Structure 1
Amino acid sequence: MAPTREPNERLRKVIDETKLSGDAIARLVRRVAAEHDEFLETNKSSITHWKNGGQPAGNVGAFLAEALGRALGGRVVTLDEIGLIAPAPQKPDWDADTLSALAELGRADVDVERRRALGVAVYSVAALSLPGEDWWQRMAERSSARSSAATRRVGPVDLAAVRDMTTLFSQVDQRRGGGHAWTSVVQYLTTDVTAYLRGKFTDERVRRDLFSSASELAYLAGWMAFDGGQHATAQRYFAEAVKLAAEAGDPPMAAHVLRAMAHQAIDLGHHQQALNLAAASVDGDRYALASPRERALLGVVHARSLASAGRKNAAAKALLRAQDDLSAASDDMAEPDRVFFFGEASLAHETACALRDIGDLDGSVREFHHSVRTRKATKFTRTHAVTLGYLGSVYAQMNNIDRACATWSQALDAMDGVRSGRTRQAAADMRTLLSPYRRRGTAAISEVDARAAAYLSETA
């Protein structure tokens, strides 16, 4: 007699949460697989088999998790959450050659066969551990001693071109979200820029600045993937960005990436790991050598990580320090281009998130409103929409559904033309928080619910 399997109640619970039929889930799994260049015959019986304790073969479990996440508005659904076996987490190989790893990463992301061979990557908590202090010195020494057989000389003109392209891509991301131009960023980074990094530099200053600029571009590729909800991909690019910053001997650039990794970990609920990363970003020269504006950015994400870990007093102190740092910044001060987006509105947004997480909803509303008032919405459209979405959610937590709906209506207006996993999550949150009130049948509730559903459908 065959052994009796235990029903997979965790998978059953998540499927029930989607309110979709087995046929609908199966269609969505097939669609996700096709996007990864695999073609499945998944059907309603497959879904029933998995709910009854069967294990999907190969990459199918990851496709199922991604499909369920989409059905739930874009939130991350892990294999563990749905009771399936995940691949053993792998720590990054911090000592692997940076340029070879970067080129391979790019080929994997733009080449269909390599993408199929790699399968579906999984975000790894184990990969959030950082190398020891001696590693940073070794990386700086490795890069300056790197020999090159290339004949092409790389100088200030090439450096300026990389900086210009990075600025252009950053502006697109801020306005339109990570769903636009990501492939172009990856191709430019892993072809043109990687070729520059293998060239003969006219001097040491150009070498260091070019590695820093490449780090910024790798960070941007990671940030856009993070914003698009592709968390494992984002994690890989963030790791390469850290390595490039280390080879450049640029502690503030490394801090910038660690801050992004902390932000991602906060959003995914890994609070202790987020705190470790954020603390590393404000440690030693990473904070001391940063410009005031960048210090404020690092500090406010550190405050958010403290808040998410329940350390209210420490979070409050970190918020005050971030405010002081931003006050010390001025328009005539030389600062890296990568912090062009961070100003009064951004500080207020992150402060509001921290206050929300420690339970100060009135303070959170005040700071979110301050962010909305002070942001240049046409230039930073994506974040403006997210801010409004978060503000509406806080109003809903305060049981002020009328204000929530009015705010969410503004958020949906701002989402027009934006492709972002975070705006999708905001729209999904609207629907979830409105579900207890749908029976009221008011025009405002019905309109917001319908518009949020339409946005999720259009951007799926």
Structure 2
Amino acid sequence: MAKEVRVNERLQQAIRESRMTYDRLALELGIVAGRHGDDARPGKSLISHWVRYSVVPSGDMPSYLAAVLSRRLGRTVTPADLGLAEEVSDLRDWSLDTLSVLADLRRIDVDDVEVDRSTALQLMAYSVGALALPTESWWESMARTGEARGRAGGRRVGEADVEAVRDMTGLFSQVDQRRGGGHARTAVVQYFTSDVARFLKGTFASEGTRRQMFSAAAELAYVAGWMAFDSADHAAAQTYFGQAVRLAAEADDPAMAGHVLRAMAHQALDLGHPKQALDLAAASISGDRYALACPRERALLGVIHARGLAATGRHTAATGALLQAQRDLAAAAPGDDEPARVFFFGEASLAHETASALRDIGDLPGAVKEFRHSVETRKATSFARTHAVTLGYLGAVHVRLKNIEEACAVWSDALDAMEPVRSGRTRQTATHMRTVLSPFRQRGIRSIDRVDSRAAAYLEATA
């Protein structure tokens, strides 16, 4: 009864602000009430009455009410504002339970029921404040929580289930590399929030199996986050990255946690938050996150740390970190017990990130050299998205060096590479091309006009 009273109070306030009568609102909603006695007076439940006599499906009623009042008020009114939708917590809150967050992610990103999506998305807006990492005691607490889950009950989960999750994660990762985050992201989220969620609630054959499953789930959550990041859905990416960190913490897998923190740092760099990026990158190489990583992964963590140092003006330290990343990658050897998640990182990737750091330091000739090395050593068919982004960055550096013709030649190759790719970062590259070339339009320069028109066509095709 108390909740019903609060709902009526909120509705009445919204109606007063819009200067509508109850009858007028009923007409706007297509309700065939209005002549059914006095049931709609303020002392009764307006919701019960309207839903009872409405020609609008009852499940849609909160959205219809909110839409009508939004039109009348000239501002957004959500079902949650009227007390008609369940409030959703900020899913980046480190104090939330891992599996509860997973259930909320399904409701928001898959089911889209019983939750006001607009409210959820507002709560999920990319937050710089949410980049602050939890205390050391949190990591210890999460490891203990994970151990307790293995005794919780549910379907029996074994090593074959872990391998199945890892196989699916590898498949999704390869699609992401070839086609960009715009392909198969819905399938990743569906699999993560359904099949994998059920595994996480199961009874495990051993504590080792539980840890492996939570680690495998962390990697899948990371892939979901990376695909969202690549699709420029940064709020969702941040949320999935946070969930990946939780899962890695419950798995007591420091190297996996470091891998995700590195991705969060990469995202923060791209979004223009260098200080926070450096903090995240420093955390990714702290203690066992670096010590327990294989040499290839150490190089990946280290080069992003170098980029964070470069972006914050610590040029000497950035140079030292770049050299260490090169040494770490050189130490990687066939037969190393490497996790599958580092399959993409090799000489070409190291050169790409090194070039990005040199660009931020101001060493543009050095950046050109490293970007070219990345292009020349990458297997473009398997890593089409990154290949296109590298070419885009190389062209942008040529522009800064006043080499417009050279930039257009490189960008033409970039447009060739991005044709089968659906990625927010390739779209950003195409947008940057058009912005840079806009002063040269209408001058009859064939190479410029061709790149400009092709970039416009790509943006239209991928909108």
* TM-score (ref. length: structure 1): 0.80
Partner of 2:76: 57
- Could you tell me which amino acid in structure 2 is paired with residue 423 of structure 1? T
Partner of 2:249: 246
- Could you tell me which amino acid in structure 1 is paired with residue 226 of structure 2? W
CA contact (8 A) 2:150 2:210 kept: no
Q: How many angstroms does 1:264 deviate by?
A: 0.4
Post-superposition Cα deviations, 1:323-365, rounded to whole Å, max 9, x if no partner, equal 0000000122110000000000000000000000111000000
CA contact (8 A) 1:90 1:127 kept: no
Cα distance between partner residues in 1 of 2:396 and 2:75: 36
- Could you tell me which amino acid in structure 2 is paired with residue 314 of structure 1? A
Cα distance between partner residues in 2 of 1:149 and 1:156: 18
Partner of 1:97: 97
- Could you tell me which amino acid in structure 1 is paired with residue 153 of structure 2? A
- Could you tell me which amino acid in structure 2 is paired with residue 157 of structure 1? A
Partner of 2:106: 106
Q: 1:285 aligns with which of 284, 288, 295?
A: 288
Give the superposed CA RMSD: 2.0
Partner of 2:433: 430
Q: How many angstroms does 1:118 deviate by?
A: 2.0
Q: How many angstroms does 1:147 deviate by?
A: 5.5
Q: Does 1:351 align with 2:354?
A: yes
Q: Does 1:216 align with 2:219?
A: yes
Partner of 2:189: 186
Cα distance between partner residues in 2 of 1:422 and 1:55: 34
Partner of 1:373: 376
Q: How many angstroms does 1:150 deviate by?
A: 3.4
- Could you tell me which amino acid in structure 2 is paired with residue 110 of structure 1? V
Q: 2:120 aligns with which of 115, 118, 121?
A: 118
Cα distance between partner residues in 2 of 1:382 and 1:145: 41
Taking structure 1 as reference, are residues 151 and 267 closer, same or farther at Cα in structure 2, changes over 3 Å only? closer
- Identify which range, 141-150 or 443-452, moves more after superposition: 141-150
Partner of 2:14: none
Cα distance between partner residues in 1 of 2:194 and 2:379: 34
Q: How many angstroms does 1:57 deviate by?
A: 3.1
Q: 1:234 aligns with which of 223, 237, 241?
A: 237
Q: 2:171 aligns with which of 162, 168, 172?
A: 168
Q: Identity over the aligned pairs, expressed in percent?
A: 64
Post-superposition Cα deviations, 1:33-80, rounded to whole Å, max 9, x if no partner, equal xxxx99989xxxx9xxxxxxx995358xxxxxxxxxxxxxxxxxxxxx
Q: Secondary structure at the match of 1:440?
A: coil
CA contact (8 A) 2:150 2:204 kept: no
Q: How many angstroms does 1:95 deviate by?
A: 2.2
Taking structure 1 as reference, are residues 161 and 105 closer, same or farther at Cα in structure 2, changes over 3 Å only? same
CA contact (8 A) 1:386 1:422 kept: yes
Cα distance between partner residues in 1 of 2:201 and 2:343: 29
CA contact (8 A) 1:90 1:124 kept: no
Q: How many angstroms does 1:186 deviate by?
A: 0.6
Partner of 1:10: none
CA contact (8 A) 1:103 1:191 kept: no
- Identify which range, 337-346 or 440-449, moves more after superposition: 440-449
Q: How many angstroms does 1:425 deviate by?
A: 0.5
Q: Does 1:455 align with 2:443?
A: no
Gaps of 5+ in 2: 1-62, 79-88
Cα distance between partner residues in 1 of 2:411 and 2:121: 37
Q: 2:390 aligns with which of 387, 390, 393?
A: 387
- Could you tell me which amino acid in structure 2 is paired with residue 193 of structure 1? V
1:251-330, aligned counterparts within 5 Å? 251-330=254-333
Q: How many angstroms does 1:438 deviate by?
A: 2.2
Gaps of 5+ in 1: 1-36, 47-53, 60-88
Taking structure 1 as reference, are residues 122 and 116 closer, same or farther at Cα in structure 2, changes over 3 Å only? closer
Partner of 2:416: 413
- Could you tell me which amino acid in structure 2 is paired with residue 134 of structure 1? S
1:125-136, aligned counterparts within 5 Å? 125-136=128-139
Partner of 1:83: none
Taking structure 1 as reference, are residues 319 and 244 closer, same or farther at Cα in structure 2, changes over 3 Å only? same
Taking structure 1 as reference, are residues 55 and 354 closer, same or farther at Cα in structure 2, changes over 3 Å only? farther
Post-superposition Cα deviations, 1:88-129, rounded to whole Å, max 9, x if no partner, equal x96832121101111211221012343345244311001000
Cα distance between partner residues in 2 of 1:228 and 1:260: 14
* TM-score (ref. length: structure 2): 0.80
CA contact (8 A) 1:91 1:126 kept: no
Q: 1:153 aligns with which of 151, 156, 160?
A: 156
Q: How many angstroms does 1:261 deviate by?
A: 0.3
CA contact (8 A) 1:91 1:129 kept: no
Cα distance between partner residues in 1 of 2:150 and 2:409: 60
Partner of 1:9: none
CA contact (8 A) 1:90 1:126 kept: no
Cα distance between partner residues in 2 of 1:269 and 1:449: 26
Q: How many angstroms does 1:204 deviate by?
A: 1.2
